[in-house]
Amino acid sequence: MEILIALPKGRMADSAITLFEKAGIAENILKDISRKLVVNDHKNLMKFMLVKPMDVPTYVEHGAADLGICGKDILLEQKKDCYEVLDLKFGFCKMVVAGPKEAKDSFLTNKRVATKFPNIAEEFFRQKGENVEIIKLNGSVELAPIVGLSEVIVDIVETGNTLRENGLIVIEEIFSSSARLIVNKASLKTKSQRIKEIIIKLKEVVETFK
Ligand code: PRP
Ligand code: MG
């Protein structure tokens, strides 16, 4: 029975692929996946797909992938219907409110918040009882306060380089994130044996390299 796995393109791709190779349940995907979006590992009966990180939960929820790897940030934003089964202990970053230094000290009413994570931002400010206007962007969010599109942003910080280079600072931390393994609900029943084996092997690697 073949197992389909959705891996995130971009900065988490190498760690995700290395994890499967270290676990001994996939071979040569790193070499092949740079050319193709789908790579078959016939020996191990696995199929790997490379998709946009934001799309991983969609593939898994619909069963187009049995398993997926994506950040906790994306899971909290999308709240898709799938199981989160393992913290993979890479892709560490923080979800923060950031802005120019002045934004930290000013108490604006009806603040504008630019973000790729509208649900997380909405929920965060609602819990604080702050009325804000959420402005949804698809990237380069740090630009928004610089050109007056918003007063602050809600975004991911990893090294802090992007904030620094754009003259922004962290105003508040919302939560810490890392890569997670997610599973399609039906697959966990129909392919139970194989999926459980994979989870155990990945867990061993995660615990060894922690
Ligand atoms: C992400 C995130 C921040 C940056 C954080 O953007 O949205 O902008 O990385 O990383 P750093 O703290 O190490 O600088 P990404 O590069 O994914 O591009 P995008 O925002 O245009 O989608
Ligand atoms: Mg960015």
Give the residue with greater pLDDT, 26 vs 180.
Answer: 180
pTM of the model: 0.94
Across 89-114, average pLDDT: 90
Which two tokens mark 63? 């069963």
- Give the H or E element holding residue 111: strand 111-115
Contact 85, 183 (CB under 8 A): yes
Instruction: Indicate whether 106 pLDDT > 80.
Output: no
Across 141-165, average pLDDT: 97
Across 172-180, average pLDDT: 98
Which ligand has an atom closest to residue 93 CA? 1
Instruction: Indicate whether 42 pLDDT > 90.
Output: no
Which atom of ligand 1 is the closest one to the Cα of 158?
12
Measured in angstroms, how far is the CA atom of residue 156 from the centroid of ligand 1?
7
Q: Which amino acids bring their CB within 6 angstroms of ligand 1? A: 139-142, 155-162
- What residue has token string 């092997």? 201
Across 169-181, average pLDDT: 98
Instruction: Indicate whether 175 pLDDT > 90.
Output: yes
Measured in angstroms, how far is the CA atom of residue 143 from the centroid of ligand 2?
9
Which ligand has an atom closest to residue 98 CA? 1
Q: What is the pLDDT of residue 210?
A: 61
Measured in angstroms, how far is the CA atom of residue 28 from the centroid of ligand 2?
30
Percent of the chain with pLDDT over 90: 83
Which ligand has an atom closest to residue 165 CA? 1
Q: What is the pLDDT of residue 188?
A: 97
Mutation to probe ligand 1, out of 11, 156, 170, 174 (largest number of atoms < 8 A from CB): 156
Instruction: Indicate whether 117 pLDDT > 90.
Output: yes
Return the residue whose CA atom lies nearest to atom 2 of ligand 1.
156
Across 63-75, average pLDDT: 98
Residue 129, burial from CB neighbour count under 10 angstroms (0-12, 13-18, 19+): exposed
Measured in angstroms, how far is the CA atom of residue 75 from the centroid of ligand 2?
18
Which atom of ligand 1 is the closest one to the Cα of 141?
20
- Report the chain's mean pLDDT, rounded to a whole number: 94
Q: How many CB atoms lie within 10 A of CB 92?
A: 11
44 band by pLDDT with thresholds 50, 70 and 90: confident
Measured in angstroms, how far is the CA atom of residue 134 from the centroid of ligand 1?
19
Which atom of ligand 1 is the closest one to the Cα of 10?
17
Instruction: Name the pairing type of β-strands 46-51 and 83-87.
Output: unpaired
Instruction: Indicate whether 72 pLDDT > 80.
Output: yes
94 band by pLDDT with thresholds 50, 70 and 90: very high
33 band by pLDDT with thresholds 50, 70 and 90: confident
Instruction: Indicate whether 34 pLDDT > 80.
Output: no
